[in-house]
């Protein structure tokens, strides 16, 4: 009886350990890509500054290597590492010394920095592992098809989408086989810049 109890306890511990391991792969929906307003401006990005009713104060210029742009009246303003909204509020405060109740808009006209972060990568058992430019509305299936599809050695239903988050990174399970064979799009998530899709090989 003691041996049987010990075996049951050992089996239970293995089951709990397996559950803890599988919990690392989330089955939930990945968080939506950050809106453009949350994008942090980088060096060489093209920035357009507009001041309502004061067109002579507007500029369109790249962010310099020191992370700054030059704006009429106020001079150099830090743009790198800040969101467009943060830069606009800073400019409104500084222009307030020269213009009555300035209304400032900051728009990114070209995203030329963070080239590495603005791509989506597909690795593993696909025809051609690729790093492709992100485009709005792109899904897991779009990215995998750009990689030529899966190979005959793939285990597509064990695929995963890896996404960086504020607290590190998170992996989301993707049933790629179910998407390709059955048209089930429940795990055909929209991708975000910097995502990595991994298709493992099946165990022989």
Last residue of a domain, one of 86, 110, 134: 110
- 85 close to 34: Cβ distance less than 8 angstroms: no
Do residues 119 and 189 share a domain? yes
More confident residue, 134 or 7: 134
Per residue in 89-129, pLDDT tens?
A: 999 999 999 999 999 999 998 877 766 567 899 999 999 99
What's the pTM?
Answer: 0.52
What CATH number is attached to the domain comprising 133?
3.10.560.10
Predicted pLDDT at 110: 85
Enumerate residues 6+ apart whose C-beta is below 8 A from 199.
122, 123, 124, 125, 126, 144, 150, 154, 155, 156, 159, 176
Look at residue 6 and tell me whether its pLDDT is greater than 70. Answer: no
Half-sphere exposure of 135 (CA within 13 A, CB side): 6
Q: Total structural domains in the chain? A: 2
In a domain, 28, yes or no: no
Kindly state the tokens that stand for 22: 């599988």
Do the domain assignments include residue 8? no
Residues 53 and 127 reside in one and the same domain? no
Is residue 21 situated within a structural domain? Answer: no
Q: Strands across the sheet with 46-51, in order? A: 59-62, 46-51, 104-110
Structure tokens at 5: 């109890």
Range of the domain at 203: 115-204
């Amino acid at each position: 009886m003691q041996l049987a109890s010990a075996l049951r306890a050992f089996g239970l511990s293995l089951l709990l350990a397996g559950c803890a391991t599988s919990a690392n792969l989330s089955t939930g929906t990945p968080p939506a890509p950050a809106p453009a307003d949350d994008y942090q401006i980088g060096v060489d990005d093209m920035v357009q500054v507009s001041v309502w009713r004061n067109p002579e104060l507007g500029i369109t210029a790249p962010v310099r290597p020191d992370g700054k742009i030059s704006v009429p009246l106020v001079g150099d303003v830090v743009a790198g590492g800040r969101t467009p909204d943060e830069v606009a509020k800073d400019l409104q405060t500084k222009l307030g010394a020269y213009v009555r109740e300035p209304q400032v808009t900051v728009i990114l006209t070209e995203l030329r920095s963070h080239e590495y972060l603005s791509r989506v990568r597909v690795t593993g058992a696909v025809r051609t592992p690729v790093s492709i430019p992100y485009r709005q509305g792109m899904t897991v299936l779009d990215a995998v098809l750009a990689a030529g599809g899966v190979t005959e050695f793939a285990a597509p239903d064990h695929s995963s989408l890896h996404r960086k988050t504020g607290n590190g990174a998170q992996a989301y399970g993707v049933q790629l086989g179910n998407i390709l064979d059955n048209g089930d799009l429940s795990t055909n998530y929209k991708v975000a810049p910097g995502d990595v899709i991994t298709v493992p090989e099946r165990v022989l």
